[in-house]
């Protein structure tokens, strides 16, 4: 008699647990349309010309679908799509001014909803993810450290070109890279990307000191 | 990390919630203004919290 309530409690607990397990199973299979609707309603004040920021392009869709590890043919398609949109400097010079590059690497300004109308040129915010110089102590580690980038490559012309392409569209070098596509997405200008290449590849740059 | 929220943020000089931190996160990612309390924000924080299961609660934390 005395045990009965305990047994009842156990049974109802087991039922509740199995019900919630089933619910969790169901929750894992959330419909894509439902997720899209939730994302849309999370940004109700988004202006019409910002809606495109909520829509992944083909590269992002592929990377999401394969959790950043797409099969070979799809990875090649991503890299190819990126390669064909890269625009090179008209004069063929890939190295700009490394000191301007350092300022661009330090600045996280631009394209945030509080940055309109623009009060400054856009930055690259490179230090948020990369260590670039010994003197700057505040840097992120999501990306590899880039200390001595040019020195380690003997300041080679082919390496400057690789760096330009990587900054312009990271997907060309590494499909599903987490790095923003600074050129392709119109974040930085060609001149600014040249300044960043100089920051990496100039012997005088503090990256190589 | 999740167990350190809410946290004192040096940038705001106040103790702020994870909701506010997500708002800032989307801002920094160049996305539109996140609706505080929206389903996306709540489910994302729920997921982060479930990922932190077994970790220590160390709130309020100290953050940039």
Q: What is the mean pLDDT of chain A?
A: 89
In chain A, the residue whose alpha carbon lies closest to the alpha carbon of B30 is A112
Contact call for residues A42 and B34 (beta carbons, < 8 A): yes
- CB proximity B32 to A under 8 Å: yes
The whole-angstrom distance between A176's CA and the closest CA on chain B is: 17
The whole-angstrom distance between B22's CA and the closest CA on chain A is: 12
In chain A, the residue whose alpha carbon lies closest to the alpha carbon of B33 is A43
Across the interface, do B34 and A108 touch by the CB < 8 Å criterion?
A: no
Residues in Cβ contact with A42 at an 8 Å cutoff, skipping those fewer than 6 apart = B34, B35, B38, B39, B40, B41
Q: What topology does CATH give the domain B2-63?
A: Cytochrome Bc1 Complex; Chain D, domain 2 (1.10.760)
**Among A19, A85, A18, A67, which residue's Cα sits nearest to residue A176?**
A67
In chain A, the residue whose alpha carbon lies closest to the alpha carbon of B28 is A112
Distance of CA A191 to the CA centre of its chain: 21
Write down the pLDDT at residue A11: 40
CATH number of the A33-209 domain: 1.10.760.10
Across the interface, do B35 and A47 touch by the CB < 8 Å criterion?
A: no
Write down the pLDDT at residue A17: 44
Q: What are the φ/ψ torsions at residue A88 (nearest 5 degrees)?
A: -100, 155
- Secondary structure letter of residue A66 according to DSSP: T
Judged against a pLDDT cut of 90, whether residue A94 lies above it is answered with yes
- CB proximity B22 to A under 8 Å: no
> Which value does ipTM take for this structure?
0.90
Residue B62, strand partner residues: B8
Residue B63: its H or E element: strand B61-63
Tokens of A113: 């909803």
The SS3 assignment for A102 reads helix
Cα separation, A173 vs A165, whole angstroms: 8
Furthest-apart CA pair in chain B: how many Å?
33
C-alpha distances in angstroms, A55 versus A50, A58, A59? 10, 10, 11
Q: Enumerate the domain spans of chain B.
A: 2-63
Q: Considering chain B, what percentage of its residues have pLDDT values greater than 70?
A: 100
Across the interface, do A53 and B40 touch by the CB < 8 Å criterion?
A: no
Contact call for residues B44 and B35 (beta carbons, < 8 A): no
Among candidate residues B21, B23, B25, B52, the one labeled active-site is B25
Judged against a pLDDT cut of 80, whether residue B56 lies above it is answered with yes
Instruction: Calculate mean pLDDT across residues A80-95.
Output: 97
Across the interface, do B35 and A45 touch by the CB < 8 Å criterion?
A: yes
**Among A105, A87, A85, A89, which residue's Cα sits nearest to residue A200?**
A105
Instruction: Calculate mean pLDDT across residues A171-189.
Output: 97
Q: Token match 């590494």: residue?
A: A174
Across the interface, do A45 and B33 touch by the CB < 8 Å criterion?
A: yes
Pick from A35-44, A96-105, A123-132: least confident = A35-44
- CB proximity A108 to B under 8 Å: yes
- Establish whether B25 is a catalytic residue: yes
Query: Which carries the bigger pLDDT value, residue A192 or residue A17?
Result: A192
| Helix pair angle (A72-83, A58-65), 10° resolution | 160
The whole-angstrom distance between B48's CA and the closest CA on chain A is: 15
- Secondary structure letter of residue A5 according to DSSP: H
């Amino acid at each position: 008699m005395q045990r009965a309530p305990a047994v009842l409690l156990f049974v109802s607990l087991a039922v509740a647990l199995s019900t919630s397990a089933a619910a969790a199973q169901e929750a894992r299979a959330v419909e894509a349309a439902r997720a899209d609707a939730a994302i849309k309603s999370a940004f109700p004040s988004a202006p019409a010309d910002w809606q495109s920021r909520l829509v992944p392009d083909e590269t992002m869709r592929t990377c999401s679908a394969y959790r950043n590890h797409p099969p070979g043919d799809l990875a090649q398609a991503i890299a190819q799509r990126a390669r064909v949109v890269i625009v090179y400097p008209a004069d063929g010079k890939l190295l700009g001014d490394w000191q301007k590059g350092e300022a661009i690497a330090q600045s996280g300004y631009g394209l945030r909803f509080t940055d309109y109308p623009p009060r400054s040129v856009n930055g690259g915010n490179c230090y948020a993810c990369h260590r670039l110089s010994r003197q700057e102590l505040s840097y992120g580690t999501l990306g590899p450290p880039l200390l001595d980038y040019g020195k380690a490559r003997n300041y080679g012309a082919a390496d400057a070109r690789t760096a330009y392409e990587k900054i312009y569209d990271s997907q060309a070098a590494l499909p599903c890279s987490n790095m923003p596509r600074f050129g392709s997405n119109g974040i930085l200008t060609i001149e600014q990307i040249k300044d960043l290449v100089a920051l990496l590849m100039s012997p005088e740059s503090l990256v190589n000191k | 990390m999740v167990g350190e929220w809410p946290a004192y943020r040096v940038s705001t000089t106040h103790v702020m919630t994870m909701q506010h931190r997500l708002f800032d996160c989307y801002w920094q990612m160049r996305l539109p203004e996140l609706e505080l309390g929206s389903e996306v924000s709540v489910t994302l924080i729920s997921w982060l919290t479930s990922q932190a299961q077994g970790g220590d609660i160390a709130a309020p934390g100290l953050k940039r």
